[in-house]
């Protein structure tokens, strides 16, 4: 595999012609879709992000973590585009190594997750699916923003949306994830309004081959994917030809380590599939957090992300005593 290094002293302006790069700004600021009811400086460890849709307040990043995180990206990325239709930017790592362990443990401990169950129908046959990993999601699509009363309002007019505008209850990105979103936007020139988080508790947690090519993401979407915790293989393979024949383009395997970030853009989603396969024992059983930032353009994107990442799934929270995710109850010590 051939690759070439690129310097990022200036934010790139041509990563994806579909996106309008954000104006240069401070390392972190409040935005329409980010948590807006608390101070997001991260300077006070007693502060937390609050919202009516959160089951409990989510602590802000500890000052020692947020200060070092502000130095990200910690390395120059390399471009991987030596295969047909593939367009990747790979940071090894993006998050400074001295805080990857603390950041992983903090997010695993503070965030709430779901083991989502849903039904798919292929013809007359219905199949019940349990997502083979823990998931959670934050954000709101381009058509709306969170208003002063914490409810979604029209992004253009600022008027309150009808109660049935969404089939879900959108929630803003908390400070502990929004800082990383801002740093990612600054480094890539892309804009994101959604944060999806997966927790792979063991090597048996996985995600099958798929592509994030939904229409609500727009043309040639850019998706930034972070790894924290255990190293896991990330597999990519070109989609079959329109005639159904296997592609002759060579597949790719990337061993994503803690702190790494992979930006997938251009034709990658429309032409390639990617997966995190099952692995037996070893490092994979130590747990991995995957954070992805995306930009949903329409309301259908919001409903889709909450349906497949929250839905009616049971709520889970990390339990330090048992060292695993357990069902969360209000009587538990959060």
Residues annotated in the binding site, as ranges? 198, 200, 210, 213, 274, 288, 292, 294
CA dihedral 198, 201, 203, 208 (to 10 degrees): -30
Residues that constitute the known binding site for 2-oxoglutarate = 198, 200, 210, 274, 288, 292, 294
Separation between Cα atoms, residue 280 and residue 172, nearest integer Å = 36
Residues that constitute the known binding site for substrate = 213
108: left (phi over 0), alpha (psi -120 to 50) or beta: alpha
Residues 6 or more apart whose Cβ sits within 8 Å of residue 99: 64, 65, 68, 69
Burial of 183 (C-beta count, 10 Å sphere; 0-12/13-18/19+): buried
Work out whether strand 288-294 and strand 314-319 pair parallel, antiparallel, or are unpaired.
Answer: unpaired
Q: Residue with structure tokens 């924290």?
A: 228
Angle of helix 175-188 relative to helix 97-110, nearest 10 degrees, comes to: 140
């Amino acid at each position: 595999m051939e690759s070439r290094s690129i310097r990022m002293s200036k934010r790139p302006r041509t990563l994806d012609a579909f996106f309008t790069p954000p104006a240069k700004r401070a390392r972190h600021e409040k935005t329409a879709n980010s948590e807006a009811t608390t101070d997001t400086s991260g300077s006070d460890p007693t502060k937390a992000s609050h919202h009516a849709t959160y089951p409990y307040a989510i602590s802000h990043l500890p000052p020692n973590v947020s200060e070092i995180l502000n130095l990200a990206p910690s390395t120059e990325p390399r471009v991987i585009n030596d295969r047909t239709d593939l367009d990747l930017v790979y940071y090894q790592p993006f998050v400074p190594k001295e805080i990857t362990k603390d950041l992983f443990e903090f997010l695993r401990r503070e965030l709430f997750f779901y083991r989502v169950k849903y039904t798919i129908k292929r013809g007359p046959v219905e199949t019940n699916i349990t997502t083979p990993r823990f998931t959670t999601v934050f954000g709101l699509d381009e058509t709306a923003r969170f208003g002063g009363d914490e409810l979604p309002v029209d992004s253009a007019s600022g008027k309150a949306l009808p109660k049935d505008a969404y089939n879900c209850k959108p929630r803003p990105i908390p400070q502990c994830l929004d800082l990383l979103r801002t740093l990612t936007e600054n480094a890539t020139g892309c804009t994101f309004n959604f944060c999806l988080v997966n927790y792979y508790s063991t090597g048996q947690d996985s995600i099958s081959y798929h592509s994030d090519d939904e229409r609500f993401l727009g043309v040639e979407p850019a998706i930034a994917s972070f790894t924290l915790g255990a190293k896991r293989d990330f597999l990519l393979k070109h989609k079959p030809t329109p005639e159904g024949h296997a592609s002759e383009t060579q597949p790719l395997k990337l061993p994503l380590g803690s702190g790494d970030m992979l930006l997938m853009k251009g034709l990658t989603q429309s032409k390639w599939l990617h997966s995190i396969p099952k692995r037996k024992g070893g490092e994979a059983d130590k747990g991995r957090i995957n954070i992805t930032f995306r930009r949903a353009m329409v309301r259908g994107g919001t409903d889709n992300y909450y349906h497949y990442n929250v839905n009616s799934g049971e709520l889970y929270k990390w339990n330090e005593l048992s060292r695993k995710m357990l069902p969360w109850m209000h009587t538990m010590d959060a």
